[in-house]
Amino acid sequence: MGKEKKRVAMRVHGKVHGVFFRVSTVEKAEELGLTGFVQNERDGTVYMEAEGAPEALQKLEQWAHEGPKRARVEKVEVEEKEELNGFGKFEQRR
């Protein structure tokens, strides 16, 4: 397994506010050794950026399609970013 890191942005649509989505995302990202952030958006989506091993990012994306127990995910948009940001940890924002 190489040292290659990637950065992705994900926007999760559905019933994702008020269901502990951000807290659960932080837990999952830390478990996978990823850095970045997750935040609620005014349009009702959850937005996250994550950096780390491609395999770990893929696992986070798979998890995001389900989310925590009370979430009802309708769609996950994923965009690979060109450059790494160098996040120090994975954190919850607003």
22 is catalytic: yes
> pLDDT band at 1, cuts 50/70/90?
very low
40 is catalytic: yes
Q: What is the mean predicted confidence (pLDDT) over 16-34?
A: 98
| CATH, domain range 6-83 | 3.30.70.100
- Choose the catalytic residue: 7, 22, 42, 72: 22
Domain boundaries, the chain: 6-83
pTM (2 d.p.): 0.94
Helix (H, G, I), strand (E, B) or coil at 63: helix
**For helices 54-64 and 21-31, what crossing angle results, to 10°?**
150
- Choose the catalytic residue: 7, 40, 72, 85: 40
* pLDDT for res 18: 96
- Averaged confidence pLDDT in the chain: 96
* pLDDT for res 16: 98
Amino acid 42 reads R
CB 7 within 8 A of CB 83: yes
| Residue 8 predicted with pLDDT over 70 | yes
